[in-house]
Structure 1
């Protein structure tokens, strides 16, 4: 556990540095939005494309790992939907607040996962995690949009808008392009590969600095049932569910570690933006993301120790 914590601690410290930079006003709110867009639209797509384009799929349990991840996601989604009427009766958690609990439990922060995979496992971990993203990102985006459109008070998106959101997502586009290049067996020119490598090296520190900048500790002063459920359902139960499917599909070694990391990291930061755009409880979503990220110092090493 101490080795895992030693690998994760630098990620947490970089997140903390982002928080301090934002609170001291060294970078303005408007400038932070520009940095986030840089990471989201250029740096992370670069590392995903390069990693997917060069990975040897035959050396990775691609299909079984994808099956374990998708099974874990669908199991949690079904459990949450079955719990929804119970949560409303027992705690008065209505539709918009439920959508934030849903996103906080089902979605994952790829930026933190990539940084931790790189520290814990290295290049091999990055490649396997990039493959995991091929399976997880489209499914979770669709599920979140559908749940928000059904339970929140915002405008319900049309099928065309859902499709447009998916095919305009830079993560999905870069993953798809990398898969095409990989399948065709095309080698990237040296200058292109070197450029993507430089961009990729910048993606992880900048991405997790942005995660820290988005934290709002003042939002945690009034915890309640919705925040407690939203913050701890994911770190407690997702690794446990994933571990069950890992054994069911016979996954071991590095791939098992990556599945557990992907299941244990906090919810995606852009869950807040989606909640705000579609009528969900954006304030609760911000609280869930903040508390999960703070707890990750303990929950991720524990999950990797027990299940990874």
Structure 2
């Protein structure tokens, strides 16, 4: 592992530690004071979900050049990622993970596949693959949150609609579908994506002032999410059972990069730098957006937080192994 990546990981842990210290000291208030609405971690998470993340998603979608995207490389990455995400979601629904809440299958699915593509991924791609590899990495990042968050939002809103319908037998199938569609579209993740796609399709350029505002708001996502991880550890603690966390760690750090390697190399014939970039991107630890998603639906926050912290620690061990394996395919 390069010195650059090591220092980036160290900076992440320091930011998380700061959030944990602030949470332990209760400088922003007590999680039990004033009910759930007074929970500082949830308040900050809501700010990220309703202000900073939408700004980042809209700006990214409005600026992406779909005509020049390397579709084979994107398929090599997103095919296994979305496939594993749907498999985890289906497995957790079948196993009855919904007992922890209707959103539980979706929360566990995002924890198993959503990588830390910015804080860890960017410096890793730059250090290992250079400027050309970083360009491929950034291209994949441009669609990473858009595809995963949009699909999971639709799934979780459908599950929540089913839960509401079970409580209210008077609701018809049409009412359930209408509620799901409305809650999916009028959503702080999906709505800015759709707006950005519309802006992009019209061929419009973002005015300089608007672009600056969106960029400024988007840059707040990273530090806010990292401190939120520490605060969540302080407020919610570690989960009572670590067995589900271990399964998520295996899926994220071992199974997902293995699937991407197999599908990209033997399925699509990808090799060289593009193969290395997508495999290492799949091998990244769980990203902090998974926690924002969990806090949005108030489901499995402790489990998600533990998975983020543990996967980031374990990445120091698994990353060199994947790099060594890639050297076998790209000598």
Per-residue CA deviations over 1:190-226 (Å, capped at 9, x if unaligned) read 2112222222222221232223222258743743544
**Unaligned stretches of 5+ in structure 2?**
32-37, 127-133, 169-174, 327-331
List aligned pairs for 1:192-211, cutoff 5 A: 192-211=210-229
Decide which of 39, 55, 65 is 2:48's aligned counterpart: 39
The answer as to whether partners of 2:61 and 2:193 remain within 8 angstroms in 1 is yes
Deviates more, 1:251-260 or 1:187-196: 251-260
Q: Say whether residues 1:290 and 2:305 are aligned partners.
A: yes
The answer as to whether partners of 1:95 and 1:151 remain within 8 angstroms in 2 is no
| 1:136 Cα deviation from its structure 2 partner | 1.6
Decide which of 117, 120, 129 is 2:141's aligned counterpart: 129
List aligned pairs for 1:230-241, cutoff 5 A: 230-241=248-259
Partner of 2:198: 180
The answer as to whether partners of 1:41 and 1:170 remain within 8 angstroms in 2 is yes
| 1:165 Cα deviation from its structure 2 partner | 2.5
Normalised TM-score (structure 2): 0.70
The answer as to whether partners of 2:161 and 2:176 remain within 8 angstroms in 1 is no
List aligned pairs for 1:236-247, cutoff 5 A: 236-247=254-265
Per-residue CA deviations over 1:253-291 (Å, capped at 9, x if unaligned) read 468636753664327114534664xxxxx4xx2332132
CA distance in 2, matches of 1:194, 1:141: 28
CA distance in 2, matches of 1:111, 1:75: 13
**Unaligned stretches of 5+ in structure 1?**
277-281
List aligned pairs for 1:40-59, cutoff 5 A: 40-59=49-68
Per-residue CA deviations over 1:172-196 (Å, capped at 9, x if unaligned) read 2222222222332211112112222
Decide which of 247, 266, 269 is 2:291's aligned counterpart: 269
Alpha-carbon distance change, 183 to 96 in structure 1, aligned in 2, over 3 angstroms: same
The answer as to whether partners of 2:53 and 2:189 remain within 8 angstroms in 1 is yes
CA distance in 1, matches of 2:215, 2:81: 32
Alpha-carbon distance change, 226 to 99 in structure 1, aligned in 2, over 3 angstroms: farther
| 1:121 Cα deviation from its structure 2 partner | 4.6
> How many residue pairs get matched?
295
CA distance in 2, matches of 1:19, 1:229: 25
CA distance in 2, matches of 1:254, 1:7: 23
Alignment RMSD, CA only? 3.9
| 1:292 Cα deviation from its structure 2 partner | 0.9
The answer as to whether partners of 1:96 and 1:153 remain within 8 angstroms in 2 is no
The answer as to whether partners of 1:246 and 1:252 remain within 8 angstroms in 2 is no
Alpha-carbon distance change, 113 to 193 in structure 1, aligned in 2, over 3 angstroms: same
List aligned pairs for 1:1-308, cutoff 5 A: 1-3=1-3, 4-28=5-29, 29=31, 30=38, 31-62=40-71, 64-66=73-75, 68-75=77-84, 77-78=86-87, 81=90, 96=99, 102-103=105-106, 105-108=108-111, 112-121=116-125, 124=135, 125-126=137-138, 128-146=140-158, 158-216=176-234, 219-220=237-238, 222-223=240-241, 225-247=243-265, 248-249=267-268, 250=270, 253=273, 257=277, 260-261=280-281, 264-266=284-286, 268-273=290-295, 276=298, 282=299, 285-302=300-317, 304-305=319-320, 306=322
CA distance in 1, matches of 2:101, 2:254: 18
Larger radius of gyration: 2
Partner of 1:279: none
The answer as to whether partners of 1:11 and 1:208 remain within 8 angstroms in 2 is yes
Alpha-carbon distance change, 53 to 218 in structure 1, aligned in 2, over 3 angstroms: closer
Alpha-carbon distance change, 221 to 208 in structure 1, aligned in 2, over 3 angstroms: closer
The answer as to whether partners of 1:148 and 1:275 remain within 8 angstroms in 2 is no
| 1:81 Cα deviation from its structure 2 partner | 4.0
